[in-house]
Structure 1
Amino acid sequence: MSVVMILQAALPAHSASRIKDLVSVEGVRENQLVGYGLVVGLNGTGDSLRNAPFTQQSLTAMLERLGVNTRDANMKTDNTAAVMVTASLPPFARKGSRIDVSISSLGDADDLRGGTLIVTPLLGADGEVYAVAQGSLQIAGFSAGGDAESITTGVPTSGRIPNGALIERELNFSMGHMNSLALSLRTPDFTTARRIAAVINEEMGMNIANPLDPATVQVQKPLGYQKDMVSLMTDIEQLYVTPDQKARVVIDEKSGIIVIGHEVRVSEVAIAQGNLTIRVTETPQVSQPGPLAQVGQTAVVPRTEVEVDTGEGKKLALLNPGVNLQDLVDGLNALGIGPRDMIAILQALKVSGALHAEIEVM
């Protein structure tokens, strides 16, 4: 069933936000890590080696490193599963600290509950090992069943290991010696970039911030500033800025969700909507002969009910020029339409030129 959601901001239209919530510092970012490993200790719910040859090859290679020769052996263990291990290396993470890892089954394992991940190197995009993961899995889902019925809740073939990876290599990035830094707007906008620069310059009492483009504000270290760039960023990230936003309507046609921004405006327009709906209901009844009848038999008598709705009760709805979000929502709701028809109306408004907003279809 499709659901329509037309959201209006709970805060005022021009509420201010901290700079730290609007931007990220260029170079201060996470890095993705990935690794391939084995989970052991499963209760017969691991990979079948016949269908997952990579699991058998990995198991053989691991045992050889431990001094156990299993070449040409006919292994039938189903307590092992091949998995992909992923993690995010946070900025400024130091050697010896720990991060969480996510585990996902790669073969045909049924359940990873009770499993333990064997030592797995985690590599970055450059092919270097930045962390090593190992530990017991935490699985939120489960599955159970018998010969006639089974039930599965969640995803029992994926899980997490909190603090399951130990960082072995650091990223060489330091802000202390820098004389300038770039602030990257999470939502690029010319007006917001200029407002951020203006607020920083007003706070510092000099022109040290310059908007380079809608997504970047360059900040220079002030002359005579006795502290480093970390302290400067601490001083400016708590400043409040009123971000601007585009008039936008976001539509997810698959789920029927509609999100309308606060700045959306509509010119004067009349809207009508009507659908022909035909509903056919079958309610068969059982006809039986009387209790003392000598002849007759039980029979099923068909009963069909047909309802037709031509939408005659729906009329034109008039939207006045320059209406705000609340007026637009009230006007569309007055038509009594479903989400699919509302999506079509919004798209028709855009084509007619009456909807002054950008429509983004997901």
Structure 2
Amino acid sequence: MFCLLAVMLSCVAQTVEGATIQSLSRIGGNRSNRVIGYGLVVGLPGTGDQTTEIPYTTQTITNMLRHMGINLPAGQFMQPNNVSAVMVTGNIPPEAQPGQKFNVTVSAMGNASSLRGGILLMTELHGASGQVYAQAQGSLLVTGASAQGATASLTINNPDVGRVENGGIVEVPMPTANTTASAVTLMLRRPDFVTAARMVEAINLVFPGSAIAQGSGVVQVRAPSDPNARVGFLAALEQIPVHPPKPVPTVVINAQDGTVIMGANIRISPCAVATGSLSVSVQNNPQVSQPNMFGRGVTVAVTNTKVKIKSHKAHLVLLDKSASLEGVVRTLNTVGATPAQLVSILEAMKADGALHARLKVI
């Protein structure tokens, strides 16, 4: 049976080029499990929580020490600055077994200025039901950084969020999908009627009469109930090639830092774009007014305020119908458009109908 199946798949692969069932869909019930926990990060170089303002950090430290057999004297007040209370989150892979590792994300929940250089202590991770499924521990990898002086500070990215690679370890087996059902449910990653119809056609070409579409996002396939045969069937099913429709041109905008990611085949209609800016500057100069040497006046502090409003010259750019979005972005960068202005221009072009692409803001 599997020899014949391999020949049929080989014939289909030679005639059809495109994505596969595995890349376009996922098997229903085969899902990851989100877990969350509360813990402590220690070893910070003086960038931890200010325990006088964050009482739960001190309470957590006291409870942890008591659990380890260390009882502090009554009324003892701690002021550590190298500890931070954190929330730990992660996704356990589908059908994970005890001992399997996964990545976790650690986020400060107090007023710690940075988690760089810290170590996450053993933290229980539980699901929505409250059951503990895993535990996490390890050294943090933080991409952000911060520095602070007497009168100035500098922050790059977010130093209060870090990751622990393979820091989580599964303690309880994850629920498995129902292997006795007579049908397998395929859930499309991007629901689309054309994709669903082509998936059904491709599956029925290999397994005649086994697939049926139930809308734009679900396809049901008859499968063997025997576990061994079912595994082989699913392995073959996931490798069936499918010709998906061309993806919709998309522009992805990161609203936090102004990053713009463009897809392929993005076109625009003729339009004119004007870029400019208005800047307002307010400057306060504190001054001291003193009386003369023999007067009876009082020294008074006054503030001299200067307000400046400057309108910068607008740049007008004409874009014809043959221009691509890549050319638009390059042109706008040439005239000095900032990332924030670029995002605003793209949103305005989409609202006007000049941008023929889906705009996605993250």
Do they fold alike, i.e. is TM over 0.5? Answer: yes
Residue of structure 1 equivalent to 2:33:
31
| Alpha-carbon separation, structure 2, partners of 1:265 and 1:139 | 39
Residue of structure 2 equivalent to 1:234:
235
Within the candidate set 106, 109, 113, 1:106 is matched to 109
1:135–1:242 distance in 2 versus 1, CA, 3 Å: same
Residue of structure 1 equivalent to 2:351:
347
- The 5 Å alignment of 1:68-217 reads 68-70=70-72, 71-147=74-150, 150-174=153-177, 176-204=179-207, 206-217=208-219
1:15–1:349 distance in 2 versus 1, CA, 3 Å: farther
| CA deviation profile, 1:49-85 (whole Å, cap 9, x unmatched) | 1111110111122222223333422212222211111
> Would you say the 8 A contact 2:143–2:159 is kept in 1?
yes
| Alpha-carbon separation, structure 2, partners of 1:329 and 1:274 | 14
| CA deviation profile, 1:250-271 (whole Å, cap 9, x unmatched) | 5759549585775x899xx8x4
- The 5 Å alignment of 1:259-298 reads 259=262, 262=265, 271=270, 273=272, 275=274
| CA deviation profile, 1:72-131 (whole Å, cap 9, x unmatched) | 222122222111111111001101222222211111122333433222110111111000
| Alpha-carbon separation, structure 2, partners of 1:256 and 1:143 | 22
| Alpha-carbon separation, structure 1, partners of 2:36 and 2:122 | 13
Q: CA RMSD of the aligned region, Å?
A: 4.0
1:244–1:315 distance in 2 versus 1, CA, 3 Å: closer
TM-score of the superposed pair, with normalisation by structure 1:
0.69
2:291 aligned with 1:329, yes or no? no
Residue of structure 2 equivalent to 1:220:
222
- SS at structure 2 position matched to 1:79: coil
1:237–1:64 distance in 2 versus 1, CA, 3 Å: same
Within the candidate set 66, 69, 75, 1:67 is matched to 69
> Would you say the 8 A contact 2:267–2:324 is kept in 1?
no
AA aligned opposite 2:108: S
| Alpha-carbon separation, structure 1, partners of 2:29 and 2:353 | 43
- SS at structure 2 position matched to 1:213: coil
Residue of structure 2 equivalent to 1:46:
48
| Alpha-carbon separation, structure 2, partners of 1:252 and 1:76 | 43
1:192–1:97 distance in 2 versus 1, CA, 3 Å: same
> Would you say the 8 A contact 1:258–1:343 is kept in 2?
no
- SS at structure 2 position matched to 1:347: helix
1:348–1:207 distance in 2 versus 1, CA, 3 Å: same
Larger helix fraction of residues: 2
AA aligned opposite 2:234: M
> Would you say the 8 A contact 1:176–1:230 is kept in 2?
no
Q: Size of the alignment, in residue pairs?
A: 303
Which consecutive unaligned segments of at least 5 residues does structure 2 have?
Answer: 1-15, 280-310
Which consecutive unaligned segments of at least 5 residues does structure 1 have?
Answer: 1-13, 281-305, 320-326
TM-score of the superposed pair, with normalisation by structure 2:
0.69
Residue of structure 2 equivalent to 1:22:
24
| Alpha-carbon separation, structure 2, partners of 1:168 and 1:226 | 25
